[in-house]
Amino acid sequence: MADKFKSYTAPWQGQLILACRKCQKKLKGNPDLRALAKLKKTVKRHNNQHPEKMFHVINVPCMSMCPKDGVTIFNPAQQPVGLSVLRGLEDIEGIYCGL
């Protein structure tokens, strides 16, 4: 048996963001928060406009931190490591500026 794990390159480019699927689902009925409800599409659109700093969103199950009118995210590259809450377009832009 092999002693080492096999490693593979990631099938995406850019920095990884984990976003709560349940938080996004709760925001679907609010037209003012559409960008947060479809965070993956919003980030993809931003990546196409600004390819110099790219992010990749993976939707994950509930992170047990359920903010009202917000989406919980985890950015492993952020220091100190922890969960963040996005509440609007300004917060999404904050991801690109390094929070």
The whole-number pLDDT of residue 10 equals 87
Confirm whether 6 is domain-assigned: no
**Cβ(83)–Cβ(73) below 8 Å:** yes
The whole-number pLDDT of residue 53 equals 87
* Domain that residue 82 falls in: 15-97
* 34-62 pLDDT tens trace: 999 999 999 999 999 988 889 999 999 99
Overall domain count for the chain: 1
Stretches in the chain below the pLDDT threshold 70:
1-2, 99
DSSP reduced 3-state for 24: helix
**Cβ(38)–Cβ(26) below 8 Å:** no
The whole-number pLDDT of residue 12 equals 86
Confirm whether 10 is domain-assigned: no
**pTM listed for this prediction:** 0.85
Confirm whether 40 is domain-assigned: yes
The whole-number pLDDT of residue 19 equals 96
